[in-house]
Structure 1
Amino acid sequence: MPPPDDRRHIGFLIADVARLMRSSFDRRVRRIGLTRSQWLVLSRLHRHPGISQSELAEMLEVERATAGRMIDRMERRNWLVRRPDPADRRINRLYLTTEAERVQAEMGRIAEQLLDDAMATLDDGERESLTDMMERVKVQLLGMGARRAEVEPARLPAAAP
């Protein structure tokens, strides 16, 4: 029996498409002076204004200290501001500045053009079907994660004898 063709395996295809999209987007936004970490932070704050540094770190899947350094650099560029949480003065909420919102808008135009270029061989119905299918898979995976957390209790280290 011949070995499976990784190029046709759906898991590899999804990973490859995501990697190629990120790489292509990186090249395109580099022209406007953005790094991957910067565009990730801008995107998250644009979609979730007022999140905390800890919440941002979780979304980016980085350590809080790493997120803090990114936030410091972006604050120095006048791309975000920290505002105290009215209910908890220990927490700062993060917001994009007007300048960063302009950069975010340009990023949005670049992203739309990239999607149009990447999906140029698909007609409108195929694009809609692909989106619907990917959305269903995402919902299924999210549900699986929630169910796993319910049935698999947190494992604590065994007590020392």
Structure 2
Amino acid sequence: MARALELHNYVGHLIRRAEQVHTSLWYRHVSREITSQQFAVLNTLSRDPGIDQRTLARLTSLDRSTVNHIVRRLTEHHYVSQVRDEEDRRRTLLSLTDEGAELLDSLIGPAEDINQKLLDALPREERQLAVGILRSIASLDDESPHDGP
């Protein structure tokens, strides 16, 4: 008989389940049209306007093909603008449009609310520790090129 893991003690399974909870909360309370990954792109472009897709991928911890797809979709909806870099014509620089900034503004409050809802599932004294643990796990691949799994 094959050996089996106790999934309720398996970190990968719990992270996947936590992501499912986050996605469900996002869909119900933040947006049915804009995903949390698209939100990360909008938020990053608000903080760092005029960056290229490679930098955007690094700052959002998304692979370049995913960022390419998200940027194309957000550009089609007039939330993101693209202009050629005058110093390096091979690069395209990205910024939020006015519509993109308005959209982001409308999403920030609900995004903060679900972040708090997730943290509220933990005892107050463990919240900062939990965020630190998740950051440690998330940083395990900080040295990878983010070109896919």
- If the length of structure 2 is used for normalisation, what is the TM-score? 0.71
SS at match of 2:30: helix
Structure number with bigger Rg? 1
SS at match of 1:4: coil
Change (3 A) 1:46 1:130: same
- The CA RMSD over aligned residues, in Å, is 3.1
Change (3 A) 1:57 1:127: closer
1:60 equivalent in alignment to 2:74 = no
2: CA distance between counterparts of 1:85 and 1:111? Answer: 32
Change (3 A) 1:3 1:76: closer
Structure 1 unmatched runs, 5+: 150-161
1: CA distance between counterparts of 2:20 and 2:56? Answer: 22
The answer to whether the 8 A contact 1:40-1:60 is kept is no
Q: How many percent identity over aligned positions?
A: 25
Kindly provide the amino acid, as one letter, of the partner of residue 120 in structure 2.
Answer: A
Q: Which ranges of 4 or more aligned residues in structure 1 deviate by more than 6 Å? A: none
Shift of 1:119: 2.4
Q: Kindly tell me the number of residue pairs found equivalent between the two proteins.
A: 141
Greater mean alpha carbon deviation, residues 124-133 or residues 18-27: 18-27
The answer to whether the 8 A contact 1:46-1:96 is kept is yes
Shift of 1:14: 1.4
Change (3 A) 1:137 1:40: closer
1:95 equivalent in alignment to 2:95 = yes
Partner of 1:108: 108
